[in-house]
Structure 1
């Protein structure tokens, strides 16, 4: 993080000089007053200039992308991060070859990396951010797979009149199952167990 110390007749002047030198705005820096200015005796004897320290606040998304690039470098992968900002949040779509290693089994590696990305992002952000990490449109493909699975298993519950317990899933994936069947007339869903082994149960409505 870039940091400079600037002097001026007053704190306000010193800050303005520092902002000009950094070519940034006041909301992008942390300001620490090291010394207040004083006019001294008769405005001459013992006069002191104000001295402030300006530290540039890291851009959250830039820092997060830098973290990802360091991970890719360590894994010898060439990956481009395509950023999309929407009303629902921020999506980083990973573009490259051999991304299967980043996705992992059922997206477990991608979920773990997404967890770390959100920790990095929120370390620098003043407000809570939610970043979704995707690769080769895996999230959308996985969503469709889970929706089809939910519909198919609901049919099995109705046919055999016996509840079905799914494999452990992340909160995001459980939410897809619940949402897919929330208006179903015959079956209901609920979750049981503790993380990371919490599972969705599909059962007949009473």
Structure 2
């Protein structure tokens, strides 16, 4: 990744491509660039049918972001990572994930036993691992939890041997 703001021409092209994609998908939407830093550009979409654009489990939103990133990478030598958000969905989701993680920390410290969070995709698990990595009281790791290839983050007391959680120990 670049260590500076992305090329304005690449960002403008990404915005145009995103607007075209939305139009072709029959969405009336407004796109604005709301953050640019270190090789990343974030795009906020306002649309009347935001739920349909986000999709179940953000599948539509994630797919839209993936396709946009692939198209921009093919067209430009300078790569940027485009983050696409609808109605601040990703921001609200991050807040919910962090709340769940911090509640798990309180529970682990109080009970001295590991706690498994709900199944998450890789990006969401990374949010938890990053948020808790500096906490000396706990450690985190991911393990399969049988939900269509997704994994669960386990928050455990620091230094405790990894173990299978008994049924019912989920957050």
TM-score range normalised by the length of the shorter chain: 0.7 to 0.9
Structure with more contact order per residue of length (Cα contacts < 8 Å, sep ≥ 6): 2
Question: Which residue is 2:150 aligned to?
Answer: 197
Runs of 4+ in 1 over 6 A off after TM superposition: none
SS at structure 1 position matched to 2:150: coil
For structure 2, which runs of at least 5 residues remain unmatched after alignment? 1-8, 160-171
The yes-or-no answer on 1:130 pairing with 2:81 is yes
Which residue in the other structure is 1:80 paired with? 30
Classify the secondary structure of the residue corresponding to 1:126: coil
Q: In angstroms, what is the RMSD of aligned CA positions?
A: 2.5
Q: Does 1:158 align with 2:81?
A: no
- Name 1:52's counterpart in structure 2: none
**Distance apart, 1:60 and its partner CA:** 4.4
Residues 60-139 of structure 1 mapped to structure 2, 5 A cutoff:
60-61=10-11, 63-84=13-34, 86-88=36-38, 89-139=40-90
Q: Shift of residue 141 of structure 1?
A: 1.3
- TM normalised by structure 1 equals 0.62
Deviation at 1:67, TM superposition (A): 4.0
Unpaired runs of 5+ in structure 1? 1-58
CA shift, 1:126, in A, is 0.3
SS at match of 1:202: strand
Could you say which residue in structure 1 is the equivalent of 2:131? Answer: 180
**CA separation of 1:133 and 1:196: change in aligned 2, threshold 3 A:** farther
SS in 2 for 1:198: strand
Deviation at 1:119, TM superposition (A): 0.7
Structure 1 Cα separation of the partners of residues 152 and 66 of structure 2: 20
How do 1:15-34 residues align onto structure 2 when only pairs under 5 Å count?
Answer: none
- Report the structure number with the largest CA radius of gyration: 1
Are the aligned partners of 1:81 and 1:95 in contact in 2 as well (CA < 8 Å)? Answer: yes
Distance 1:196 1:128 in 2: 29
- Measured against aligned partners, the alpha-carbon deviations of 1:5-45 in whole angstroms (never above 9, x if no partner) come to xxxxxxxxxxxxxxxxxxxxxxxxxxxxxxxxxxxxxxxxx
Q: TM-score normalized by structure 2?
A: 0.73
- The 8 Å contact of residues 191 and 198 in structure 1, kept in 2 or not, is answered as yes
